């Protein structure tokens, strides 16, 4: 089995480096400065216990890979980039190989299943950051992360077992679960606060919005009949499986949303996080005003009309009002 890690950022970089360091065959698909850095000097993974430098094959496009039947593609790009990536896989000749969606949100698997028969959902809890080309920071010890893997929409098979074993050998805990989407919906409830943490400055207003936006998502789930469950990170910490630990000399820069804004990536995944709640609500004929307003705030952050940390409670309420659904 060969792991093709598509999107070598914080999560993908930790995956690729960990798998390569464990002696497993890895090919990365990256772009821009990250691709150049890995090709020229490998990838450095900084951890609380020290730095690990590793080299692995890295390409800029799936067409550069000589594909094998037993390849496993791990998608780790942001959801807004998924469909284009999937089409590139199709154009490169990928067909029955396993496609694993190791991303936030719940839309990636649906997109993949339109094009490929063997799709797997992977819920990822892995504290990592990527700021500088050629370097990723992985804060989890002794395991670098927690993964929950199963076929999409449901089920388990020998491929899932082999993938799980590969990650376990790479010091990343991976459990096989019959219905991984229950956990992915739970992770989504956590991820809807990503934009809150990026948009608001620390304080009571931000804390209040964090709780309110989660509560709104849970209410929409209840009305839609969606089953969901949080990943119990506290249990993993208490059992000593993964503890989020500081890395000397490395500052934390927040969620994947904040990291994208800091890198000026040009897009963030809010439309596939908070926007998923909005879509679900609208399909039921109801509104999700807080999540809806946060999608608009996200657009203004990306467009430079707002700066991270600038949004106040009064501004946020104005966004709720400004983007209200028309009434009859």
**Interval 111-167: pLDDT, tens:** 999 999 999 999 999 999 998 999 999 999 999 999 999 999 999 999 999 999 999
Considering the entire predicted model, what is its pTM? Answer: 0.94
Amino acid 258: pLDDT: 79
* Claim to verify: residue 21 and residue 165 sit in the same structural domain: yes
323 — pLDDT class (breaks 50, 70, 90): low
Cis peptide preceding 161, ω within 30 of 0 = no
The count of domains in the chain is 2
Amino acid 326: pLDDT: 44
Q: Rounded to an integer, what distance in angstroms lies between the CA atom of residue 199 and that of residue 139?
A: 24
Angle (CA) 11 270 76, round 5°? 20
CATH number at residue 20: 3.40.50.720
Torsion region of 285: left, alpha or beta (phi above 0 gives left; psi -120 to 50 gives alpha): left
* Claim to verify: residue 163 and residue 45 sit in the same structural domain: yes
When pLDDT is averaged across residues 60-77 and rounded to a whole number, the result is 98
Please indicate, yes or no, if residue 77 is contained in any of the structural domains.
Answer: yes
* Claim to verify: residue 73 and residue 167 sit in the same structural domain: yes
Amino acid 257: pLDDT: 82
When pLDDT is averaged across residues 271-300 and rounded to a whole number, the result is 96
Residue 209 has pLDDT above 80, yes or no: yes
Residues 290 and 212 sit within 8 Å (Cβ to Cβ): yes
CATH number at residue 275: 1.10.1040.10
* Claim to verify: residue 135 and residue 190 sit in the same structural domain: no
Q: What percent of the chain has pLDDT over 90?
A: 90
Amino acid 10: pLDDT: 95
Name the domain boundary from 180, 205, 220. 180
* Claim to verify: residue 82 and residue 94 sit in the same structural domain: yes
Residue 325 has pLDDT above 70, yes or no: no
Amino acid 164: pLDDT: 98
Residue 83 has pLDDT above 60, yes or no: yes
Domain range for 44: 2-180
* Claim to verify: residue 31 and residue 159 sit in the same structural domain: yes
Name the domain boundary from 180, 208, 243. 180
* Claim to verify: residue 21 and residue 147 sit in the same structural domain: yes
Q: What percent of the chain has pLDDT over 70?
A: 98
Name the domain boundary from 180, 213, 243. 180
* Claim to verify: residue 133 and residue 261 sit in the same structural domain: no
Q: Rounded to an integer, what distance in angstroms lies between the CA atom of residue 59 and that of residue 26?
A: 11
pLDDT in tens, 217-258: 999 999 999 999 998 888 888 899 999 999 999 988 777 787
Please indicate, yes or no, if residue 328 is contained in any of the structural domains.
Answer: no
Mean pLDDT (the chain) is 94
* Claim to verify: residue 34 and residue 172 sit in the same structural domain: yes
* Claim to verify: residue 169 and residue 41 sit in the same structural domain: yes
Amino acid 261: pLDDT: 80
Amino acid 268: pLDDT: 86
Question: CB 277: neighbour CB atoms within 10 A?
Answer: 27
* Claim to verify: residue 130 and residue 243 sit in the same structural domain: no
When pLDDT is averaged across residues 176-183 and rounded to a whole number, the result is 96
């Amino acid at each position: 089995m060969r792991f093709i890690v598509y999107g070598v950022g914080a999560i993908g970089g930790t995956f690729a480096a960990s798998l390569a360091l464990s002696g497993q065959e890895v090919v990365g698909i990256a772009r821009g400065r990250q691709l150049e850095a890995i090709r020229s000097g490998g990838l450095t993974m900084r951890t609380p216990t020290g730095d690990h430098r590793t080299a692995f094959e890295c390409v800029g496009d799936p067409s550069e890979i000589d594909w094998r039947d037993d390849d496993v593609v791990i998608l780790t790009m942001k959801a807004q980039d998924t469909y284009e990536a999937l089409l590139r896989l199709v154009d490169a000749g990928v067909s029955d190989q396993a496609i694993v969606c190791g991303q936030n949100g719940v839309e990636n698997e649906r997109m993949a299943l339109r094009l490929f028969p063997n799709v797997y959902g992977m819920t990822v809890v892995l504290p990592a950051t990527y700021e500088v080309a050629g370097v990723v920071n992985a804060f989890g010890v002794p395991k670098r992360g927690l993964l929950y893997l199963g076929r999409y929409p449901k089920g388990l098979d020998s491929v899932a077992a082999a993938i799980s074993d590969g990650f376990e050998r790479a010091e990343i805990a991976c459990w096989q679960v019959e219905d991984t989407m229950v956990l992915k919906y739970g992770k989504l409830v956590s991820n809807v606060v990503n934009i809150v943490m990026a948009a608001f400055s620390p304080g009571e207003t931000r804390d209040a919005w964090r709780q309110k936006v989660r509560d709104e998502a849970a209410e929409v789930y209840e009305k839609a009949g969606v089953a969901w469950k949080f990943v119990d990170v506290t249990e993993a910490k208490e059992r000593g499986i993964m503890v989020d630990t500081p890395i000397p000399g490395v500052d934390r820069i927040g969620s994947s949303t904040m990291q994208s804004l800091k890198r000026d990536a040009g897009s963030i995944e809010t439309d596939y996080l908070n926007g998923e709640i909005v879509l679900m609500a609208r399909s039921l004929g109801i509104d999700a005003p807080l999540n809806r307003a946060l999608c608009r705030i996200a657009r203004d952050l990306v467009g430079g009309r707002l700066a991270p940390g600038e949004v106040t409670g009064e501004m946020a309420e104005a966004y709720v009002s400004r983007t209200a659904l028309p009434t009859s």
